[in-house]
Amino acid sequence: MKRVFLIVLDSVGIGEMPDAADFGDEGSNTLAAAAASPYFSMPNMAKLGLFHIDGVSCRPKEGEPQGAVARMTEVSKGKDTTIGHWEIAGVVSPQPLPVFPDGFPEELLEAFEKETGRGILCNKPYSGTEVIKDYGREHVETGKLIIYTSADSVFQIAAHEAVVPIEELYRYCDIARRLCTGKYGVGRVIARPFEGEWPYKRTSRRHDYSLTPPSPTMLDVLKDAGKEVLAVGKISDIFAGQGITDMVRTSCNAEGIDRTLEYMARDFEGICFTNLVDYDMLYGHRNDVEGYAKALTYFDQRLPELLKALREDDILMITADHGCDPSTPSTDHSREYTPLVIAGPKVKAGVNLGTRASFADTAATILDYFGIQGKTAGESFLDRLLAGDADPSAC
């Protein structure tokens, strides 16, 4: 029974791409920034080959890797979560999703106000923690919604849970998602609930509402082929629920790993797709190098549990969707290469797959493992990945 466990370490880039300057990200290197911290320690990922990846020089190469590795190139025109995950799943986005550096146009906001019956505050690019400090009191006093964006293609709605109950906030996000199409088609509408007294604290009940992928993804193809597609964390949100057969949301990386291990104990054939978001949400966007390093160290400490849970025909793939260098002045995502580290009983040790042309090679390889070819973008590297006695066509 074949199973693939695909884990996205959200925002763990490994160095600027050639076009990084076009995105204002020249010099970004998320992994190197975290590795400069004394709290960084990833010996288990090192054993699999993390520091053997092309261009990764923040730690020395030690010994022969026990896994296979690659450096992944994003060809989609963006550096956000939605586009990154879509490309990992085999859909390349030749056009960037719209961004609103000057705030959202009145036409859109007037329609939103009419349907929600609430006024609007802010309407600017803003830090999620700072916006509730600066506008939270007025929101509590007036009931107006805090609407803000960032350098990414997002329409974010912040509200105090005592003023706007969580289900009502989610309903407002449904309205925004319906309105944000066409020229206003942001990648994600995001519910940003907060609580407590000023300066307030964001809660774990964030919820993302993504655009529907423009064409079938790896998830759709696997589901149509009768395979299970299990989603952990915000994966279901990113793909607007498409191609998912079972899902669970999580509140932190630790819970994401726990839920993945629970799926690993289940009998199924197909894929478990996990997003671990803390690196991006809690540390990258807040320029917290120390916290980022500690979070990577924590994942590495849990990695032996994941490896131990692998069965004979399982493949574990660990990658990322973009960068978010916590050491640069910017608090936004960064245009970086991403790592791909692969392990499993049938994975050939010591294979360096070089620099791949697209994140979509991951999708093509996974589908190839299940005997499905040519259904998404990307080029499979399965023939180089499996040990000589592994037959990729065997059921």
pLDDT tens across 161-199, in order? 999 999 999 999 999 999 999 999 999 999 999 999 999
Q: Which residues pair with 272 in a beta bridge?
A: 5, 230
Q: Which CATH number fits domain 106-210: 3.30.70.1250, 3.40.50.20, 3.40.50.300, 3.60.10.10?
A: 3.30.70.1250
What would the pLDDT profile of 107-156 be if each residue is shown by its tens digit?
999 999 999 999 999 999 999 999 999 999 999 999 999 999 998 899 99
Q: Which two tokens stand for residue 172?
A: 């407002």
Please state, in angstroms and rounded to a whole number, the distance separating the CA atoms of residues 361 and 73. 10
* Letter string b/e over residues 157-175, b meaning 16 or more CB atoms within 10 A of that residue's CB: bbbbeebbeeeebbebbeb
Please state, in angstroms and rounded to a whole number, the distance separating the CA atoms of residues 6 and 204. 23
- The pLDDT score that the predictor gives to residue 152 is 86
Q: Which homologous superfamily is 3-96+212-385 in? A: Alkaline Phosphatase, subunit A (3.40.720.10)
Task: Give Cβ neighbours of residue 284 (< 8 Å, ≥ 6 apart).
Answer: 11, 30, 292, 323, 324, 325, 326, 331, 333
Please state, in angstroms and rounded to a whole number, the distance separating the CA atoms of residues 355 and 76. 16
Please give the backbone phi and psi of residue 177, each rounded to the nearest 5 degrees, phi first.
-65, -40
Task: Give Cβ neighbours of residue 354 (< 8 Å, ≥ 6 apart).
Answer: 54, 70, 71
Domain ranges of the chain: 3-96+212-385, 106-210
- The pLDDT score that the predictor gives to residue 384 is 97
Q: Give the 3-state secondary structure of residue 157.
A: strand
State the 10-residue block means of pLDDT for the chain, 395 residues long: 98 98 96 98 98 97 95 96 96 93 97 98 95 98 97 95 98 98 94 97 91 96 98 95 96 97 98 97 95 98 98 98 97 96 98 98 98 96 83 43
Please state, in angstroms and rounded to a whole number, the distance separating the CA atoms of residues 98 and 338. 23
Q: Which two tokens stand for residue 58?
A: 């923040």
User: CA neighbours within 13 Å on the CB side: how many for 94?
Assistant: 2
Using an 8 Å Cβ cutoff, are 334 and 328 in contact? yes
Using an 8 Å Cβ cutoff, are 360 and 91 in contact? yes
Identity at 188, one-letter amino acid code: R
- The pLDDT score that the predictor gives to residue 62 is 83
Q: Which two tokens stand for residue 235?
A: 């994966």
Q: Which residues pair with 6 in a beta bridge?
A: 273, 317
**CA-based angle 72:76:82, to the nearest 5?**
90
What letter does residue 345 receive in the DSSP assignment?
Answer: T
CA nearest to 159, candidates 188, 126, 118, 213: 118
CA nearest to 92, candidates 106, 102, 101, 82: 82
- The pLDDT score that the predictor gives to residue 392 is 45
Query: 3-state DSSP: the chain helix, strand, coil percent, rounded to 5?
Result: 35, 20, 45
Please state, in angstroms and rounded to a whole number, the distance separating the CA atoms of residues 122 and 149. 10
- Per DSSP, helices labelled H in 61-165 are 81-88, 106-116, 128-142
Q: Answer yes or no: same fold for 3-96+212-385 and 106-210.
A: no
